[in-house]
Amino acid sequence: MNRLVKKAQKGDDKAFLKLFLKYEQDIYRMAYVYVKNKEDALDIVQEVAYRSFKKIHTLQKPEFFKTWLIKIAISCAIDCLRKNKNVVQLKPDYEGYIASNVEDIPLSLFLHQLLDELNEDEKSIVILKFYEGYSFKEIADMLNIPLGTSKSILYRSLDKLRIQAKGAGIYE
């Protein structure tokens, strides 16, 4: 893997494409969680491909290639949200994100609505921790924040989610 990254950094287009394709689904999932529609998520994947291709030479540690891509994806998703802030969604399209093996779809939709109540930093940390499985250290590095800050934001976010879930009668 590191060898492919080093090749890509030296200008090998095929090596970059091979690397990017390996993580394309992860990037799409991360983007979709933010923007909640297929078209914008696909646009973000394209933007991540473009930005990462242009800036691959800035990646200092090849072993963090995936983390670097996810960080770019989050940045692109937040940019997209800011750009589309005044656009009103008439019907959110969650079906594409929900796995087919989810048995309690109303609960799953409710959890996504709860996540939408969080601010961008809180949402990023919750998604990275629980959906993507990153450690606090990896999250702190990815978001360029201190380790303690990533923990406190996560716990504050979980408290917010817990209070909202109690208010809706989902959590006791």
Low-confidence spans in the chain with pLDDT less than 50: 87-102, 104
Tell me, what's the pLDDT at 144?
83
Query: What pLDDT, on the 0 to 100 scale, is given for residue 88?
Result: 46
Q: How far is CA 123 from CA 25, 55, 69, 92, 160, in A?
A: 19, 26, 18, 18, 11
CB 118 within 8 A of CB 160: yes
Judge whether 42 and 25 are in contact, CB under 8 Å: no
pTM of the model: 0.62
The pLDDT tens digits for 83-113 are 876 544 444 444 444 444 445 455 556 667 7
Position 52 scores a pLDDT of 92
- Name, in order, each residue with C-beta under 8 angstroms of 33's C-beta and a sequence gap of 6 or more: 97, 115, 123, 127, 131
Question: What is the model's pLDDT at position 141?
Answer: 84
Report the pLDDT value the prediction gives residue 94, as an integer from 0 to 100. 44
Instruction: For each of the domains in the chain, give its residue range(s) and CATH number, in order of start.
Output: 1-94 (1.10.1740.10), 98-172 (1.10.10.10)
